[in-house]
Amino acid sequence: MAYDALLVVSFGGPDGPADVLPFLENVVRGRGVPHERLLEVAEHYRHFDGVSPINVQNTALVDALRTAVDLPVYWGNRNWHPFLADTVARMASAGVRHALAFVTSAYASYSSCRQYLADIEQARAAVGPGAPEIDKIRHFYHHPGFIEPSAEAVRRALAELPVELRAQARLVFTAHSIPVAMDAGSGVAGYGRYTEQVAEAARLIAAMVRDGADADADHDVVWQSRSGPPHVPWLEPDVNDWLETLAARGTRAVVVSPVGFVSDHVEVAWDLDREARQTAERLGMAYARAATVGVRPRFVEMIRELVDERQDPRAPRLALGRLAAGLDACPVGCCPQPGRSAPPTR
């Protein structure tokens, strides 16, 4: 397939204090999130002067990709500037006709995949008949370009702990919690692919860090950043609750790895660097947080490899572990919004 541009599609984040509430309103529109929760999260952003670090990292990622791939690179967000529809309009004006989209989410679910597909189609519809065709790149949660730099980040975090605690430190992997019903619908016919994929990424990283030892024996997968109505069941346990459990079992040190995220932003900085760290300190546990992959060279190289495999059928489709490399196009019916049927996917 011939492509003439690469589009980076991300979540977005505020650029200053005045942006915080409008940004959060975009994020939760139609989800029934209580206004009190919105104000609580807005206060988190104010501790960072209203600026999300995701914007700096996305800018750096786009700059790195412009030297790594032989295509024009564009960037559009779901929830804040540069908005996806505006970017697609610029692409159309520049004569782009068939683009690849790299979404900065490694996993399958409604919020981490299907909703981005809907965003892309809405942006194309807003632009009109001249909008380019846009194909999303496959999930990359078990690509070596994601696993290898994630494992290296865990190793660096382990090195921050006291020497005598490193070998016994528990590896705790976190990802964004989602409603249980959303997880049950991720994949095809209620497959639960989101939790499966997060667990597989965590297992692969733990095995690489522990040099192939029984990784299942010394790591956990937990969840963070719940934001929905209290009566709706979400994935558990929360990372802070799990740290309490580990402390009660005698764990003296933890490394927390935000495997569900590819870049730092306020949910990582607040939930892990502040709240989870404070929980661990209160419990008397040594604590270190592994970095996200961000713009590490192997991660940028991974994106180039994913572009290459879509352009050349002879290129290898790299994937580690028990699960095969994902499909290039999501099947009809996968990852519907909870309570609704998924629309067909091009």
Which string of DSSP letters, residue by residue, matches 265-323? -HHHHHIIIIIIHHHHHHHT-EEEEPPP-TT-HHHHHHHHHHHHHHH-TTS-----SSS
- Cα separation, 246 vs 110, whole angstroms: 31
- Tell me which residue of 217, 136, 221, 220 sits closest to 177, measured CA to CA: 221
- Cα separation, 136 vs 102, whole angstroms: 6
Predicted local distance difference test score (pLDDT) of residue 216: 62
Query: Which pair of structure tokens corresponds to residue 289?
Result: 């947080």
Same fold, 5-140+296-311 and 144-289: yes
What angle (nearest 5°) sits at the alpha carbon of residue 112, between those of residues 111 and 114? 70
Q: What is the pLDDT along the chain (346 residues), one digit of tens a residue?
A: 799 999 999 999 999 999 999 999 999 887 777 888 889 889 999 999 999 999 999 999 999 999 999 999 999 999 999 999 999 999 999 999 999 999 999 999 999 999 999 999 999 999 999 999 999 999 999 999 999 999 999 999 999 999 999 999 999 999 999 999 999 999 876 678 999 999 999 999 999 998 866 556 689 999 999 977 788 999 999 999 999 999 999 999 999 999 999 999 899 999 999 999 999 999 999 999 999 999 999 999 999 999 999 999 899 999 999 999 998 998 888 999 886 544 333 2
Predicted local distance difference test score (pLDDT) of residue 213: 60
Peptide bond into 82 cis (omega under 30): yes
Amino acid at 120: I
- Write the burial class of residue 112 (CB in 10 Å: 0-12 exposed, 13-18 middle, 19+ buried): buried
pTM for the full model? 0.94
- Write the burial class of residue 330 (CB in 10 Å: 0-12 exposed, 13-18 middle, 19+ buried): buried
- Cα separation, 243 vs 169, whole angstroms: 12
Domain covering 144-289 assigned CATH 3.40.630.30 in the classification: no
Q: Which CA distances in Å does 209 have to 142, 169, 175, 203, 206?
A: 15, 12, 19, 10, 5
Domain coordinates of the chain in residue numbers?
5-140+296-311, 144-289
Long-range contacts of 204-212 (CB under 8 A, 24+ apart): 204/142, 204/147, 204/151, 204/320, 204/321, 205/147, 205/150, 205/151, 205/154, 205/171, 205/173, 205/257, 205/259, 206/154, 206/171, 206/173, 208/147, 208/148, 208/151, 209/151, 209/154, 209/155, 209/158, 209/171
- Domain 5-140+296-311 falls in which CATH fold? Rossmann fold (3.40.50)
Tens-digit pLDDT profile for residues 308-329: 999 998 999 999 999 999 989 9
- Cα separation, 30 vs 163, whole angstroms: 49
